[in-house]
Amino acid sequence: MSKWDELLEDLVTANRILAHEGVVDSFGHVSVRHPDNPQHFLLSRARAPDCIELPDIMEFTLDCQEIDGRGRKPYLERFIHGAVYEARPDVVAVVHNHSPSVIPFGITKHTLKPVLHMGASIGHQVRVWDSHDHFGDTNLLVENMEMGRDLAKYMADDRTVLMRGHGAVVAGRSLRHAVFVSIYLEVNAKLQMQAMSMGEVNFLTSGEVDKIIGRTADYTINRAWENWCRRAGRPAINSEV
């Protein structure tokens, strides 16, 4: 299998994994930057992630114009992806989701922060972008580049950001890394809420977060990827650990 075919298979797999792990439901999406043209990215047509197949994968410019669309309907919120790739040359993959446990942290004063070892991958803390600040009453969808750029600017160099009353965005250094962070964002949020209901929370320290992030190698991510592929009924390509 060529590198290109492997990447497309991985993108389909990423969708299926995020669905099986409860990060996306009928909505939410994951994209990857084009490996040969950093000014383009790959994202499925508008379809529930658990249903996505290879022919659904479309190619877009960073301002979200489709290349060879062939009548396929793109996601309304593809601008999240394009704007993050445009602002962040370091980012290789983007996930947008409505992961249920993260929502409360976007609508209360409680900040989402790492509470467990694997949760360190979300970064030191997760800030909340509020579309209402610059755009007032909207339908909450990021459906143009202006909103996407505002979101990407607010996200700055972080790997995660919440969207008030809507969901989250995750930026990864690889497709598998973005999936990894997205899953642990949901796990961390759920555990943090459970801990908060029991009393005061003892969070990971900033130094601990730095050290754990520094040790999160590709073999760690591949070990999780292989397991998640098995659970989602997908072949685990190149995930030797």
Which region holds residue 140: left if phi is over 0, alpha if psi is between -120 and 50, else beta?
left
d(CA 189, CA 200): 15
Which region holds residue 209: left if phi is over 0, alpha if psi is between -120 and 50, else beta?
alpha
Per the residue annotation, which of 21, 77, 86, 186 is the catalytic one?
Answer: 77
Angle between helices 78-87 and 145-155 (to 10 degrees): 50
- Number of residues written out for the chain: 241
Verify whether residue 186 is a known catalytic residue: no
| Helical (H) or strand (E) element with 218 | helix 218-232
Phi, psi of 182, rounded to the nearest 5 degrees? -65, -40
- Residues labelled catalytic: 77
